[in-house]
Structure 1
Amino acid sequence: MTLPLHIATQGNPANPSIVMLHGFSMSHAIFAPLMARLSDSFHVIAPDLRGHGLSPKPEQAYGDSAAWAADIAQILASLDRPLLLGWSMGGRVAMDYIRHHGDAALSALALIGSYTGPVPAATKANRGPMFDEDQRETGTAAFVRACTKDPLAPDLAQTLLDEALLCPHHVRMALAARDEDYTADAATVTVPTLILHGDADAIVPPAASAAHNIPNATHVIYDGIGHTPFLEAPDRFADDLAAFAREARK
């Protein structure tokens, strides 16, 4: 069953579309600087995934891969060959969509700081304190800090913390139980795919990204960058993504 997701958009709907899926406990707000950079040339769509941000947070709606896929399918249905970008857990949700709907409706796929195999041990360790309700705020703050190699500007860091705290305990616990393996699904991808990772990523080790088995994918590593390359190297990332999106639509 789909849920009525909160969706942020920027740019002219007549332009090529990029749909951005955020990661664990975050929201569309993590993409706000990137959306602003791309909105002159692209129609950018960033939903709050189920259980996150301003989207519904039912008690039990997180274990079914088909349900996550349906949420994304309802967004893509009105778009003309969008690029689907998934960051961190958002890459897993993108793979839910690929598993159940294939990639025929896409122009391209971008997986940023993400992985298609089982959840890496480092990922579980970094978000572990967030699963203890008594440590919810301090654990979330530690997770947000671990997402970047160097500290973000205080106002941006506070925005990410505030948004991450909107994800309630029952959603976090349900997501902890999701350990899907998308290795077989990755092998079915046919569209141009960008796999981009920071070499200083403490949340998802670069080796997890390198293990993607998507045919003919383009792998890019940013030196000295952590889990959020679109925040840590914003101009470079926006330029690289825009160039990839344009090339994929030719």
Structure 2
Amino acid sequence: MARRTRPAVEHVTVHGHRRAFVRAGSGPAVLLLHGLACDHTTWEPVIASLARTHTVIAPDLLGHGESDKPRADYSVGGYANGMRDLLTVLGIDTVTVVGHSFGGGVAMQFAYQFPERTERLVLVSSGGLGPEVTPAIRAITTPGFQQVMGVLTTPVLRRPATAALRLLARSGVSQLRDLDEVASIYETFTDPQARAAIRTVVRSVVDWRGQVVTMADRAYLTEAMPMCVIWGADDVVIPVAHASNAGALAPTARVEVIPKAGHFPHKDHPQRFVKIVRDFIRTTEPSTYDAGRWRELLDQGAPVGPVHAGAGESPRSPVVVVRRAKPA
């Protein structure tokens, strides 16, 4: 079996900060946004397949991977601005934006801030669709995180811990399937700058009660933008129930739940994931920005009726039918 070839990592400097990204393929552009404490390598199982029909851009967000980790704006709005500027430098005008976990929050913010540059929106186990999130992420916001993690990432503790996490990930227990990725994230915390950047990111979107940032108050603006939501049925980081939240908030969204997949469905079932994304792109027309209609929507505001999901709330709306993704 031929070994998968990794795309070369490229670098560009934007606003004085070095940004890392990979670029592959040709055709309509797809922007892949990774999750918290990950980097572009989380998309390696799907980049080559997507690149057969599309130009794939997979960046390391600022504060992650090979990108710089300055003291900077790590809000979702700041990240959306950074993606606009990266795409501008690369000469790409419009994209289908695919965001995983925290990257889903960035993807939604990008679509909100730059609808004229967003053709479609694909949310993968996304943040921003409800307050619940694993306590492990909330713990990053606590005082002393930097100091405690500094001790836990010393070689004498880190090496046996990551080995144990990877062993548990291979145990076959569905709730443990994501621990291999957790081990990789644990490794990144050896860098004090990375720890500081991640803590700043988390504090911008999570507090002790859970997720703070939500798309609920602006979901009505997605009426003219094709949206697909993909979730792993066994996700223990962000509950799969949030996929139904997305469907309630944006009734035209296509919702796919992949069985036997955790928080990283694109890694658990890459062929199935690519098929869903490719079919979604093939069967939908790219969004076209209409300034007049956008103004009308803003003037009208959110429809009266459903309660918008906030901390501790779930949206009240008709039952949403969630499709279970079939094997590729």
1: distance between equivalents of 2:119 and 2:109? 17
Of residues 36, 53, 72, the one that matches 2:83 is 72
Where 1:62 maps in the other structure, the secondary structure is coil
Q: CA deviation at 1:47?
A: 0.5
Task: Report the counterpart of residue 184 of structure 1 in structure 2.
Answer: 217
Query: Do the aligned partners of 2:32 and 2:98 also contact (CA within 8 Å) in 1?
Result: yes
Instruction: List alignment gaps of at least 5 residues for structure 1.
Output: none
Cα-to-partner distance string for 1:48-98 (whole Å, 9 max, x where unaligned): 0010001110123214x4321211112344325321000000001112213
Of residues 112, 119, 127, the one that matches 1:99 is 112
Of residues 180, 183, 194, the one that matches 2:228 is 194
2: distance between equivalents of 1:233 and 1:149? 16
Task: Report the counterpart of residue 168 of structure 1 in structure 2.
Answer: 194
2: distance between equivalents of 1:30 and 1:41? 20
Code of the aligned partner of 2:219: A
2: distance between equivalents of 1:204 and 1:28? 20
Structure 1's 249 and 80: CA in aligned 2 closer, same or farther, altered over 3 A?
farther
Of residues 128, 136, 152, the one that matches 1:135 is 152
Structure 1's 174 and 235: CA in aligned 2 closer, same or farther, altered over 3 A?
same
Establish whether residue 18 from structure 1 lines up as the match of residue 44 from structure 2.
Answer: no
Task: Give the alignment of 1:73-88 within 5 angstroms.
Answer: 73-77=84-88, 78-88=91-101
Query: Do the aligned partners of 2:130 and 2:245 also contact (CA within 8 Å) in 1?
Result: no
2: distance between equivalents of 1:44 and 1:191? 20
Larger Rg: 2
Task: Report the counterpart of residue 289 of structure 2 in structure 1.
Answer: none
2: distance between equivalents of 1:36 and 1:158? 24
Structure 1's 202 and 214: CA in aligned 2 closer, same or farther, altered over 3 A?
same
Query: Do the aligned partners of 1:92 and 1:114 also contact (CA within 8 Å) in 2?
Result: yes
Where 1:248 maps in the other structure, the secondary structure is coil
2: distance between equivalents of 1:4 and 1:186? 33
Query: Do the aligned partners of 1:69 and 1:100 also contact (CA within 8 Å) in 2?
Result: yes
| TM-score, length basis structure 2 | 0.64
Q: CA deviation at 1:199?
A: 1.1
Establish whether residue 238 from structure 1 lines up as the match of residue 251 from structure 2.
Answer: no
Task: Report the counterpart of residue 217 of structure 1 in structure 2.
Answer: 253
Q: CA deviation at 1:142?
A: 5.3
Where 2:283 maps in the other structure, the secondary structure is helix
Cα-to-partner distance string for 1:153-210 (whole Å, 9 max, x where unaligned): x8x8876665676672111211221222222233212311000111100111011232
Q: CA deviation at 1:225?
A: 1.2
Aligned residue pairs, count: 241
Give the aligned CA root-mean-square deviation in angstroms.
3.1
2: distance between equivalents of 1:9 and 1:202? 31
Establish whether residue 247 from structure 1 lines up as the match of residue 253 from structure 2.
Answer: no
Code of the aligned partner of 1:9: R
Q: CA deviation at 1:219?
A: 0.6
Code of the aligned partner of 1:175: V
Code of the aligned partner of 2:122: A
1: distance between equivalents of 2:82 and 2:60? 10
Structure 1's 195 and 176: CA in aligned 2 closer, same or farther, altered over 3 A?
same
